[in-house]
Structure 1
Amino acid sequence: MIISALAFTFLNVFVKSLNSFSVYQIVFFRSIGTLFFTIPFLLKNKISLLGHKRGLMIGRSVFGLISMTLFFLSLKYIAMGTAVSIRYIAPIFAAFFALFILKEKIKPLQWLYFAIAFAGVLLLKGFDSQEEITGILLAISSAIFAGLVYIMIRKIGTADHPVVIVNYFMIISAAIGGLLSIKGWINPSGKEWLIFLSLGVFGYFAQLYMTKAMQVGETNEVAPLKYLEVIFTMIIGLVWFGEVYSFWSLMGILLIILGLTLNVVSKRKPKS
């Protein structure tokens, strides 16, 4: 999970460094880079690229594309650590959607932990004059659509291989991102080509090691480690981009991480 957090961090940093390019061009390269891993894997292992629950996978891909685009856009307005922190409230929206769509229950204590996390978002939004309201709203919107992604994945269940689901996401993202980027396309320089091509690599390994971590470790022990991405991103943002975090920013981010970590731990099943 620590390797995954580092990979996500570098993905965030490189997206931020491509600020002069349109978000659609970034989405296109992010998706194309990952397809170089997913398609050979599926072909080598003789797994159908079409899968079974195609309608749900298309829906998951569209929601994922919207979430990713909104998140990349938010990085143009606010500090990376802030954007990443807000994106991580997606499980809260997922829990709300699951309540109505999947008829799942939410423990009373979880409502308290959700409130703590939302209080952190309100601190970021209401007390820090350095944060652009546009960026905050984009990051929150990204988290809402990410919550819908979780619901779609739950509905897909184990009917399709995880790489098939990711492959759908990347193909649709590459196609739509590529089409939307044609009008404002900017030819990258040599160094920028390297950064663009690395997006898919870091994105793929970030997802891969996060999945492996969830497979070999208990969720309540492993999941909180993914919030290391916030710390890594903040440190690099401070050093590389000179980003500044006020006291209220830090308090808001701390409350978000605290609320979400407590939520994960609260769902731990007692050992028999």
Structure 2
Amino acid sequence: MQYKISSNYIGIFLVISSSFCYAILNCILKKIGHNLPPLILVFYRNLFLILILLPFLIAYRKNTSGLFHKNNLLLNIVRGSLGFLGICFWIMAVSKLPITECVAISFTTPLFITLLAILILKEKVSLTKWGCLFIGFFGAIIVMSPDFTKLSFYSLLVLAAAMLWASSAIVIKTFVTYHHPVPVIFFTSFISLLLSVPALTQNPILPSNEQLPLLFISSMLSALAQVLMGFAYKKSPITVVIPFDFTRLIFASITAYFLFNEIISISTIIGSVIIIVSASFIVFSEAKLKNVKSRNIP
């Protein structure tokens, strides 16, 4: 007897695998981020990422045509620019802060998506969602400043990165059709590469023999994590897979402990739980609203 694996289980497995890749990736970025300037690190990381994805881009070349339509091209450039700034801020922060703190703050991305959708897309939300936004950002403050006295500059950089990634998600919302993850990642990586070229010309630094393999591995993990996440959202509804995206904190706690002897703080755990509950409620309620609207369409 043959058993067919549910697409939901496949999506969950893909998200958890992506979270594990991100955990290892963040550890590598923390290690080499101490010695390489962020823009230089971004340049080499995206250079290797493009070289890794090039054969796959050729294989999926039939899926690239839609990306270069006039409107989509501009949106992809904007998305790539936002992602570039986001990863620069992230690298600067993760080299200075505990990885678990950075990951916990990054969970505010769904909150920013909702907030920006209200401000930019003029989406209407209930008082309950407003309350979730308030509570979620309060959880972020607990992570960033447990005593409510002083916010770290690097914590604010992570928050800015989350807002930039949320802005990128708002841009993605304007895409009408689904695009294969590989061409999208390749294109946005190419934009990031171009934006980081001036930094390399002003400060030409070659990675050391120790840094080169780590940069290559980080590029592989970045590509794999993004592709896995892209296929996960294609395989399963967002309400099924999004709770498992928060396993990033579990993997981050384990890897950071063994590699950097970092111990997750109580304030990070409490703040993370508050953010995760608030973000999950918003995601679930939005998905429910979409289902209601789709059923009402004649």
Q: Normalising by structure 2, what TM-score?
A: 0.83
Matched residue, 2:106: 87
Matched residue, 2:74: 55
- 1:154 aligned to 2:173? yes
Matched residue, 1:14: 28
Deviations 1:134-182 (A, max 9, x none): 1111011111111110111111331754433322210111122233134
1:122 shift after superposition: 1.2
1:85 shift after superposition: 1.6
Which residues of 2 match residues 17-36 of structure 1 at below 5 A?
A: 17-18=31-32, 19-36=34-51
Q: Which of the two has higher C-alpha Rg?
A: 2
CA contact (8 A) 2:100 2:268 kept: no
CA contact (8 A) 1:65 1:173 kept: yes
Provide the C-alpha distance between the structure 2 equivalents of 1:45 and 1:127, rounded to a whole number of angstroms.
48
Provide the C-alpha distance between the structure 2 equivalents of 1:119 and 1:180, rounded to a whole number of angstroms.
36
Provide the C-alpha distance between the structure 1 equivalents of 2:201 and 2:271, rounded to a whole number of angstroms.
38
The residue type paired with residue 41 of structure 2 is I
Deviations 1:69-88 (A, max 9, x none): 11111112211111112122
Provide the C-alpha distance between the structure 2 equivalents of 1:260 and 1:101, rounded to a whole number of angstroms.
19
How many residues align? The count is 272
1:107 shift after superposition: 3.5
Matched residue, 2:227: 208
The residue type paired with residue 63 of structure 1 is L
| Unpaired segments ≥5 residues, structure 2 | 1-14
Which residues of 2 match residues 104-119 of structure 1 at below 5 A?
A: 104-119=123-138
The residue type paired with residue 8 of structure 1 is Y
Q: Decide which moves more: 70-79 or 185-194.
A: 185-194
- 1:5 aligned to 2:19? yes
CA contact (8 A) 1:87 1:140 kept: yes
Closer, same or farther in 2 for the Cα pair 1:204/1:95, shift >3 Å? same
Provide the C-alpha distance between the structure 2 equivalents of 1:83 and 1:128, rounded to a whole number of angstroms.
18
Closer, same or farther in 2 for the Cα pair 1:161/1:240, shift >3 Å? closer
Provide the C-alpha distance between the structure 2 equivalents of 1:227 and 1:10, rounded to a whole number of angstroms.
15
| Unpaired segments ≥5 residues, structure 1 | none
The residue type paired with residue 80 of structure 2 is S
Provide the C-alpha distance between the structure 2 equivalents of 1:179 and 1:142, rounded to a whole number of angstroms.
21
Provide the C-alpha distance between the structure 2 equivalents of 1:157 and 1:234, rounded to a whole number of angstroms.
38
CA contact (8 A) 2:25 2:221 kept: yes
Give the counterpart of 1:40 among 55, 67, 70: 55
The residue type paired with residue 16 of structure 1 is K
CA contact (8 A) 2:80 2:187 kept: yes
Closer, same or farther in 2 for the Cα pair 1:21/1:177, shift >3 Å? same
Closer, same or farther in 2 for the Cα pair 1:126/1:159, shift >3 Å? closer
SS at match of 1:153: helix
1:125 shift after superposition: 2.7
Q: Normalising by structure 1, what TM-score?
A: 0.90
Deviations 1:210-245 (A, max 9, x none): 111111122112111111111111221122112243
The residue type paired with residue 258 of structure 2 is V
Provide the C-alpha distance between the structure 2 equivalents of 1:38 and 1:105, rounded to a whole number of angstroms.
39
Q: Decide which moves more: 166-175 or 257-266.
A: 257-266
1:93 shift after superposition: 1.6
CA contact (8 A) 2:143 2:267 kept: yes
Provide the C-alpha distance between the structure 2 equivalents of 1:245 and 1:201, rounded to a whole number of angstroms.
27
